Chains A and B, each alone.
Chain A
Amino acid sequence: MKFERYGKGIAKGMALTLKHFFRRPITTQYPEERLYVSRRIRGNQLVWDKNVCNACSACSRACPAGCLIVVTSRDENKKLKVDKIEQDIGICISCGLCVESCPVKCLFMSCDYEKSAYSRKNFILTGEDLMPSEKRIPSGYFSPENESKLPMQTLLIDR
C-alpha cells in the first residue's frame, strides 16, 4: 500500500520557504550599497592617460560610432601633441575598439556605469575630464595589469 497525497509535498515546500525566511536578503539597496562589477567591465566612459599618449589618433580612426574626436598638431620639436580629445558618451557604444587599437596603452575603459546626466552637453567629456582620478578607475578590459589591482566581482550566488 503506497501513500501519497497526504501533504508531504506541502510540508516540503513549507520547510523550503521557512529556510528562505532565515536567509540573508539578496536585495542590494543600490544608491547606498554597491556591488563590485566585473573586473573586465567595459564601462561607458574612457580613461585617457595624457602623459603616456603619443597622439597617433588610432583610437579615433578605430571608433565605429564616431564618438571619439582627436585633434593633433606638431610642436616646435616636430613631435605630435593632442590639441583636443573629446568623447561623447551619448554616442559611444562601449565596443572597446579604441582601447584595443591604442599602441602605447594610454586608453582604458572605466569601471563607471552611471551614465545619466541632466543635459546632453554633460555627455561630452574633453581633455582633462578623461584623465584617471579617484572616481575614474581604469577597468581591466584589455589590460591584465589593471585587472589584478581591482577587487573581485561580487556574485549573488555567494551571498
Chain B
Amino acid sequence: MLSTFITNTNPNILYASALPPDWPGGFWSHMLIFIVILFVFVILGVMAFIYIERRVLGRFQIRIGPNRTGPFGIIQPVADTIKILIKEDIIPQNADGLLHLLAPAIAFIPTLMIFAVIPLQNGVALVDLNIGILYIVAISSVSVVGILMAGWASNNKYALISAMRVIAQVVSYEIPLALSIIGVVLLTGNLSMNSIVESQNIPFILLQPLGFIIYFIAALAEINRTPFDLLEAESEIVAGFNIEYSGIKFALFFLTEYAEALAISAIIATIYLGGWRGPLLPPILWFLIKMVAVFILIIWVRSTLPRIRIDQVMGFAWKFLLPLALINLLITGLQVITLPDLSQWVIVAINFVVTAVLILFWSKFYRLTGDKKVEV
C-alpha cells in the first residue's frame, strides 16, 4: 500500500534525536565526538575514494592502476597527499591575497557540513535535522562561492573563465536537483534524512526512477564530474579555477572535489537506495556498500562519456532535465493523492513505463541551437 510508506514521524523532533542521554556533557560531548568522527570519516573516505577511483578507472581502461605503494597500492593516496602537501605555496604577484587564501576553506567547509545530517545508522548522525534534505540543498551550493573566489583572486583568465562556467552550470542544475528531491519528499512527507530512510520499505530508486536519473545527472553536474567537468577542462582552460594554486591550498581543493563526490554518493545512497537499511549485514556496512556502489557508477560514467560543450550543458539542464523534473513532480503528486491504496509494486511498474515513455518522447523536443531541423 502506498500509504504504508507515508509515515508520520514525531513532529516534535527539532534536532539531535540520536542524543545519548547518559553521556556527560549532554549534547556538546555528543557534538564534539561526532565532529571528530565525521572529520575522520570524510578524510578516510576521500582517501579510499581516490584509491577506488584510480583502481576502478584503470580496470575500465584495461589497465591495472597503481599497485606499487604498499599491498595492492593502498598507500597510494597517502603518497599523493604527502607529495601535494610538501610543495611550495605560491601566491601570484597581482592576486588578491586574502581571497586567494580564503577560497579553499570556503569551498571545503560547506562540503564537510553536508555530512552533519547524513545518518550512518538508525539515528546515528551529528544532528537529525527535521529539515535535513533542505539543509543539504542549501549548504551544498555554498561551496561554489569558494570556487568563484578562487577564480577571481587568482588573477588568471583561465581561472576566471572556469569560475564563470561553474557558476552558470551549478545554478542551472540546482533546479532539477531540488525538484527531483521534492518527489522523494512527497512520498515520505518528511524532510528529515533519517525518516526518509525509515520510510523506504522498498528503495525509492524503484518508486522514483525518473527522479533518480534526474538527480544523478544533476548531481554529476553539481560536483563537476566528467561529462560536466567544464570546470577543469584540461584541453580548453588548462586546469580551471585551481591553476594558480599549489601546496596545501590545492590539496584542500582536491579534498573538496572528492568530499563532494563522497557527499553525493552518501545522499544518493540515503534518499534513493535505502541508506542503512538492508538484511543480514550491520547497517553501517550497508550504508558504506551503497555509497561505494554509487561512486563506482560515477566512475563508470566518467570512463565512458566525453566532456560536453557549455551550450550543451546549459541546454540539457533547461530544456531536458527541468521539464522532466516538473513532470515527475506532477506525476508523483498525482500518485500520492489519487492512488494511496494501490499496491506499491503496481506503482513501481507504472513509474518505470512512464519514465521510459517520457524520456523517449521528450528526446523529440530536445534540440540545441544550430541543430538541423529534424522532421517529425
A3, A4, A6: most-surrounded residue (chain B CB, <10 A)? A6
Distance A4 CA – B361 CA, assembled complex (angstroms): 10
B305 is contacted by which of A2, A10, A18, A27 (Cβ under 8 Å)?
A10
Whether B360 contacts A17 by the Cβ 8 Å rule is no
| Cβ-based interface call for B337 (8 A) | no
Residue of B nearest to A29 (CB): B64
| Cβ-based interface call for B92 (8 A) | no
Distance A26 CA – B363 CA, assembled complex (angstroms): 38
Contacts of A117 in B (CB 8 A): none
* Closest CB in chain A relative to B320 CB, distance in Å: 9
Whether A6 contacts B359 by the Cβ 8 Å rule is yes
* Closest CB in chain B relative to A29 CB, distance in Å: 7
State whether A26 and B300 are in contact (beta carbons under 8 Å apart), knowing that A5-B366, A6-B360, A7-B359 are contacts in the complex. no
The main secondary structure of chain B at its interface with chain A is: helix
Using an 8 Å CB-CB cutoff, how does the interface string of B57-71 with A read, 1 for contact, 0 for none?
Answer: 011111110000000
Contacts of A155 in B (CB 8 A): none
* Closest CB in chain B relative to A31 CB, distance in Å: 11
Whether B300 contacts A17 by the Cβ 8 Å rule is yes
Residue of B nearest to A17 (CB): B304
| Cβ-based interface call for B373 (8 A) | no
A20 is contacted by which of B61, B301, B305 (Cβ under 8 Å)?
B61
Distance A92 CA – B340 CA, assembled complex (angstroms): 85
State whether A21 and B64 are in contact (beta carbons under 8 Å apart), knowing that A7-B359, A14-B304, A16-B304 are contacts in the complex. no
B-facing residues in A10-68 (Cβ within 8 Å): 10, 13-14, 16-18, 20-21, 23-27, 29
Residue of B nearest to A159 (CB): B62
| Cβ-based interface call for A1 (8 A) | yes
Whether B59 contacts A25 by the Cβ 8 Å rule is yes
Whether A26 contacts B359 by the Cβ 8 Å rule is no
* Closest CB in chain B relative to A139 CB, distance in Å: 30
State whether A26 and B364 are in contact (beta carbons under 8 Å apart), knowing that A6-B359, A13-B304, A14-B300 are contacts in the complex. no
| Cβ-based interface call for B376 (8 A) | yes
Residue of A nearest to B376 (CB): A1
Whether A25 contacts B58 by the Cβ 8 Å rule is yes
| Cβ-based interface call for B303 (8 A) | yes
A16, A17, A18, A23: most-surrounded residue (chain B CB, <10 A)? A17
Contacts of B59 in A (CB 8 A): 20-21, 25
Contacts of A1 in B (CB 8 A): 364, 376
State whether A25 and B304 are in contact (beta carbons under 8 Å apart), knowing that A3-B360, A5-B366 are contacts in the complex. no
* Closest CB in chain A relative to B349 CB, distance in Å: 20
State whether A20 and B62 are in contact (beta carbons under 8 Å apart), knowing that A3-B363, A6-B363, A14-B300 are contacts in the complex. yes
State whether A4 and B303 are in contact (beta carbons under 8 Å apart), knowing that A25-B62, A25-B63 are contacts in the complex. no
* Closest CB in chain A relative to B257 CB, distance in Å: 22
Whether A17 contacts B363 by the Cβ 8 Å rule is no
Residue of A nearest to B301 (CB): A14
Residue of A nearest to B375 (CB): A2
Contacts of A5 in B (CB 8 A): 363, 366
Whether B60 contacts A21 by the Cβ 8 Å rule is yes
A3, A5, A7, A10: most-surrounded residue (chain B CB, <10 A)? A5
Distance A98 CA – B300 CA, assembled complex (angstroms): 54
Distance A6 CA – B320 CA, assembled complex (angstroms): 11
* Closest CB in chain A relative to B201 CB, distance in Å: 30
Contacts of B360 in A (CB 8 A): 3, 6
Distance A14 CA – B304 CA, assembled complex (angstroms): 6
Whether B60 contacts A20 by the Cβ 8 Å rule is yes
* Closest CB in chain B relative to A18 CB, distance in Å: 7
Residue of B nearest to A8 (CB): B363
Distance A20 CA – B56 CA, assembled complex (angstroms): 11
Contacts of B64 in A (CB 8 A): 25, 27, 29
Q: List 8 A-B contacts (CB under 8 A).
A: A1-B376, A3-B364, A4-B363, A17-B300, A21-B56, A21-B59, A25-B58, A25-B64
Given A25-B62, A25-B64, output 7 extra A-B contacts at Cβ < 8 Å. A2-B374, A3-B364, A7-B359, A10-B305, A17-B304, A21-B59, A27-B64
Which 5 A-B pairs give the minimum distances between C-beta atoms? A6-B363, A5-B363, A13-B304, A17-B304, A26-B62
